[in-house]
Chain A
């Protein structure tokens, strides 16, 4: 296991990943510092989501996958046999491309991760709901109707509810898989503002197709192409002085 510097929170070491026989990720090496936002950019099918979904081992659900290399979170390997997937996912929250609230009340959506962990203390749950909804910037809009169905919300509100659900149990890392892809510009703006707030408490990895979004709200950017990390560094540097031809082509819009 590699030595971990104080700031290096997630470390991906020589990571290769296969769906059955086809390899999706090639020798990925990434370093993510605590409480920063890393944006994964790249054309469709380049492996951004695959990489993201490996960070909370969501890809375990798919049959016939295997990997080599390692991912280290806070000094511990994700693939350590002692690590339970369930407790790992409690430490790594996830927000999906398509908002997917449960068919329950707003309240029950937020406290779901606590309920499955067996925490049913009413006072604690109430506190968590308020904190998480405030954190997701939704509290003012729904505080009078937290027991209404989650489906009574608008699309942007539902996505923020999903963020509230993901941060309710205070994870260390928040994974966001194109969180604004299904939203209109105003809702997108709100989520972006929210991310800047969330940065104070969480380490965030975001996959985005929206280059402006990536430029606006990330500290670091990694450009992936055909399963490989082409370039990785400070966002300003990637957008302003890319060193690789492929990065230049992508950023200037020659392919997407």
Chain B
């Protein structure tokens, strides 16, 4: 005992305390990541479909006394009267059952068995479908039974046909029709501009205006032609239907044009499951969201987050570094500089939503509004820059992370040894040459640390973005080939996507796994961006690092 107290007085026990603190921190982080990982990736793994037989028929006529479902989770329902366990099942077939998920008390289940032939279909609407395929029927009356040997092959072929047409449709609608309508918008804007100039300067532009109007007419005619084409393609898409049965035996049919993907979870071996898992994850990464964001992928959100963070970094770096150079190297150190420095440090503690409000007030209404008045006075009331956009969002976040960069840069500048500064000056370098050629390169790794911290904070921020340009759904990516290069477009963001899925979704149960998967992606994106910056930093410190003094 005495020995223990002696040890304690020397601080030996404190060592283990510090390691305990670290261990707790690491455990919490790892636990959080694991939870997100498991919960997020669960939904990509193909789970078996069970045929569930109920004790008594469900009130819902379509369900009857048996139904297909995939196990989601087990819940202990502890009411004070009786304890019962409930299974949460994914049923799909939202248009028939009213909801995709259902809690079924364990006691109500008579039998639970895997039905081999059940299919999980991903549709354009109403989420997924669980059922047993019966036969394919073409509109000319031909039929192909599920039991026949050709079914799998033909079904695949038919879906390929549909998919090809869908791609063609998308191309026409997005590219060609988009191009035409862009032209129409452009011409209309041009007409407004000329009319405005006509009124203002008294010059006659009527011939140009007529030409532009003709252009609009031409585009509209073309547009109609394309519309006919798409209608035809749509008609071609609808050449066959799939008939399927629910567990209750009820039969339904679905147009193949409605089907995106399908799989037979009960027929898959492990490798097929892994393949399905990977491909589902890829679709999640690369596709646009569908059905109020509860289905499909998150590609626009990934892209928006990435682009905004990069833009923010590009904007915050020069401002922060220049400000820090002035504060540290040029400004006369005194009361004023101290006051400025304290203010800058305090700026880092201002809640981010305040910056969001500033962004709306200053960037959007102030700068953006005035820019619109100045550049596009004929677009009365239709904002171009005076609305939320990725540029304003990046600027707002740049402002928010500015203190971090300034503080880090100042630290890095002051850490450059006095000796090398004096050596440079003694060589006949001016002060600016010394800063530019000697001090800044030596300080570069420290400045990069500031940028890394700024990126970590900026990429994860949601609150201010909701005010300055992030929206729930924006399939158009915020880039363009013509001025203003899409910089004034609103965009999607992973952080806001999480909020939207978790709290604003019409089908919160369906969105739950996506919340975790999106969270995982957000973390990964921040980690990747940081790793990239750290790589640059280590390269810089290798190049300019001092050797031990």
Known contacts A103-B441, A166-B427, A96 near B543 by CB under 8 Å:
no
Known contacts A116-B433, A151-B546, A151-B547, A100 near B419 by CB under 8 Å:
yes
B485 at the interface (CB under 8 A from A): no
Question: How many A residues touch the partner, as a band?
Answer: 20 to 34
Partner of A117, one of B419, B420, B428, B442: B428
Residue numbers in B under 8 Å from A160 (CB-CB): none
Quick one: which of B282-321 are within 8 Å of A by CB? none
Quick one: which of B434-457 are within 8 Å of A by CB? 437-438, 441-442
Partner of B428, one of A89, A96, A100, A162: A89
Residue numbers in A under 8 Å from B430 (CB-CB): 86, 116
A165 at the interface (CB under 8 A from B): yes
Contact present for B420 and A116 (CB under 8 Å): no
Residue numbers in B under 8 Å from A112 (CB-CB): 424, 427, 429, 437
Mark contacts of A103-125 with chain B using CB atoms, 8 A cut-off: 1 yes-contact digit, 0 otherwise.
10000000011011100000000
Distance (whole angstroms) from the CB of B440 to the closest CB of chain A: 11
Partner of B429, one of A56, A96, A116: A116
Contact present for A116 and B426 (CB under 8 Å): no
A228 CA to B437 CA in the complex, in Å? 38
Known contacts A89-B428, A117-B428, A96 near B547 by CB under 8 Å:
no
Contact present for A96 and B546 (CB under 8 Å): no
How many interface contacts (CB-CB < 8 Å) are there between A and B? Answer: 71
Quick one: which of B377-436 are within 8 Å of A by CB? 417, 419-420, 422-430, 433
Contact present for B423 and A96 (CB under 8 Å): yes
Residue numbers in A under 8 Å from B544 (CB-CB): 103
Contact present for A162 and B423 (CB under 8 Å): yes
A169 at the interface (CB under 8 A from B): yes
Contact present for B419 and A166 (CB under 8 Å): no
Contact present for A102 and B424 (CB under 8 Å): yes
Residue numbers in B under 8 Å from A162 (CB-CB): 423
Contact present for A165 and B423 (CB under 8 Å): yes
B545 at the interface (CB under 8 A from A): yes
Residue numbers in B under 8 Å from A93 (CB-CB): 426-427
Residue numbers in A under 8 Å from B80 (CB-CB): none
Contact present for B420 and A102 (CB under 8 Å): yes
Known contacts A98-B419, A98-B549, A103 near B426 by CB under 8 Å:
no
Partner of B425, one of A58, A98, A165: A58
Distance (whole angstroms) from the CB of A25 to the closest CB of chain B: 19
Known contacts A116-B433, A151-B546, A151-B547, A102 near B426 by CB under 8 Å:
no
Contact present for A113 and B419 (CB under 8 Å): no
Residue numbers in A under 8 Å from B422 (CB-CB): 58, 61, 94, 96, 100
Quick one: which of B252-301 are within 8 Å of A by CB? none
A113 CA to B547 CA in the complex, in Å? 22
- Give the dominant DSSP class at B's interface: helix
Distance (whole angstroms) from the CB of A151 to the closest CB of chain B: 4
Contact present for A89 and B433 (CB under 8 Å): no
A87 at the interface (CB under 8 A from B): yes
A51 CA to B547 CA in the complex, in Å? 31
A169 CA to B433 CA in the complex, in Å? 17
Distance (whole angstroms) from the CB of B104 to the closest CB of chain A: 69
Contact present for A113 and B428 (CB under 8 Å): yes
A90 at the interface (CB under 8 A from B): yes
Contact present for B428 and A103 (CB under 8 Å): no
Question: How many B residues touch the partner, as a band?
Answer: 20 to 34
Contact present for A102 and B438 (CB under 8 Å): yes
A138 CA to B423 CA in the complex, in Å? 19
Quick one: which of B109-159 are within 8 Å of A by CB? none
Partner of A102, one of B423, B425, B545, B549: B423
Known contacts A96-B419, A103-B545, A151-B547, A58 near B426 by CB under 8 Å:
yes
In chain B, what residue has the closest Cβ to A61? Answer: B425
Contact present for A169 and B423 (CB under 8 Å): no
Mark contacts of B513-549 with chain A using CB atoms, 8 A cut-off: 1 yes-contact digit, 0 otherwise.
0000000000000000000000000000001111101
Distance (whole angstroms) from the CB of A52 to the closest CB of chain B: 11
In chain A, what residue has the closest Cβ to B546? Answer: A103
Contact present for A100 and B433 (CB under 8 Å): no
Contact present for B426 and A56 (CB under 8 Å): yes
A152 CA to B430 CA in the complex, in Å? 27
Residue numbers in B under 8 Å from A94 (CB-CB): 422-423, 426
Quick one: which of B328-361 are within 8 Å of A by CB? none
Known contacts A96-B419, A98-B419, A100-B422, A116 near B428 by CB under 8 Å:
yes
Residue numbers in B under 8 Å from A96 (CB-CB): 419, 422-423, 426
Contact present for A103 and B427 (CB under 8 Å): no
Distance (whole angstroms) from the CB of A140 to the closest CB of chain B: 23
Residue numbers in A under 8 Å from B424 (CB-CB): 102, 112, 116
Residue numbers in A under 8 Å from B441 (CB-CB): 103
Known contacts A100-B417, A116-B437, A166 near B426 by CB under 8 Å:
yes
Mark contacts of A133-167 with chain B using CB atoms, 8 A cut-off: 1 yes-contact digit, 0 otherwise.
00000000000000000010000000000100110
Q: Please indicate which of the listed interface residues A102, A115, A117 has the most CB atoms of chain B within 10 Å of its own CB.
A: A102
Contact present for B423 and A86 (CB under 8 Å): no
In chain A, what residue has the closest Cβ to B428? Answer: A90
Distance (whole angstroms) from the CB of B415 to the closest CB of chain A: 13
Residue numbers in A under 8 Å from B419 (CB-CB): 96, 98, 100
In chain A, what residue has the closest Cβ to B545? Answer: A103
Contact present for A86 and B420 (CB under 8 Å): no
- 11 chain-A/chain-B pairs, Cβ below 8 angstroms: A58-B422, A89-B426, A96-B423, A100-B422, A102-B424, A103-B442, A103-B543, A103-B545, A116-B430, A116-B433, A169-B427
* For the complex of A and B, 3 pairs with smallest distance between CB atoms: A100-B419, A151-B547, A94-B426
A101-B423, A115-B437 provided; 12 other pairs, C-beta below 8 A? Answer: A56-B426, A58-B425, A86-B429, A96-B419, A96-B422, A100-B419, A100-B423, A102-B420, A103-B442, A162-B423, A166-B427, A169-B428
